[in-house]
Amino acid sequence: MKLDFKKALALSFKYSISIRKLPYYFLFQIFALLLIFSPLLNLVEISHDSGIFQNNIPDPHIVDFIVESFGYFFLAIVLVLIISSVVTPTLIYNYVQYRNKKDDSLKYSFNQAKPHILTVFGAFITLAFLINIISGIVSMISSTLGSIVSILMTLAFIFVIPDIIIRKSSISKSLTSSYSCTRKNMLEVIALYIIITFFSVAITLFFGIPLIMVLSQSMISLFELMSAGTSYYLLVPVFVSIVKAKYDLYIVSIITLLLGNSISKLFSTAFITEIYLQMMKK
C-alpha cells in the first residue's frame, strides 16, 4: 500500500485553515508569545529608561532586575511547554476525529487527550534532551555533522507524539515505534519532512512580509545613524526608540506573522498524524 500524499496534503491544509480550529490555536500563539517575551520587553524598557548602556557602572538594582527578568523568561518557557503538552495531544486527537468525520469538537478531543498530557510532557523533555544534547555534543566535533545528526534524530522520532495519542504508548515504546516506522519508510519520511519544511518556510515568508518591511525600515534608520558616527553605546537605546515610534506597525505585523505560524503548525501536526495513520495501515 502506497502512501497517499495528495490526500494527506488536501486534508491537512483544509484542517489548518478551519475556522473551528485556527482561531483557538492563534490565541494560544499570542498567549505564548506574550508569556515568553513580556519579561524581555520589560527588560528592554527598563534598560532603555535607566540608560544602562550609557553608564560604565550599572545600577545594582537594574542588574538584579535583569537577573530576575531572565528567571521569569525561563519560567515562561516551562509554562508554555506545559500548555503545549495539553494543546498538542488535543489537536492530534482532534485531527483523527476530523479525518474520520466523527465528533471533532475541541472540548471532546481535550477530554479524550487528558490521560496522555503527562506522557506528552515527558516526551517533549525526552526529545529535547535526545535531539539537542546529543546533536550539541556532536557539534563540538563538527557543526555540519551536528546538524545532520539533529535532522536524522528528528526524522527518527517524528511520530513519537502521534504514537502516544493514537496507540496509547509509553514514552519508551513510542520512541521505539517511531524509529521503526521511520526506518521502514525512510524515503516517505524524508518527503514528509521536506513538504513540512517547504510549507512552513513559504507560509512564514508570506505572512512575515509586513514584519520584514517594518523591520527593514527600522534597520535603515539605524544604519544611517551608524554612518553618522553615533556612539556604539547609543545604538541599542536609539533602536528601541525607533521601534517604539512604530509600535503599532510592529504589533500588526507580528500578529500577522503569528497567524501564518498558526496555520503552519496546524498543517504540520495534521500532516504528520495523517502520514502516521497511513503507515500504520501498511
Number of domains comprising the chain: 1
Distances (CA, A) of 6 to 84, 145, 165, 195, 268: 28, 33, 24, 11, 15
Domain containing 245 equals 5-281
pLDDT in tens, 176-219: 999 999 999 999 999 999 999 999 999 999 999 999 998 888 77
Q: Indicate the pTM of the whole model.
A: 0.85
Q: Please tell me the predicted confidence (pLDDT) of residue 230.
A: 56
Reported as a single tens digit per residue, the pLDDT across 206-261 is: 999 999 998 888 777 767 666 665 555 555 666 667 777 788 888 899 999 999 99
Give the model confidence (pLDDT) of 11-41 as tens digits. 999 999 999 899 999 999 999 888 887 766 6
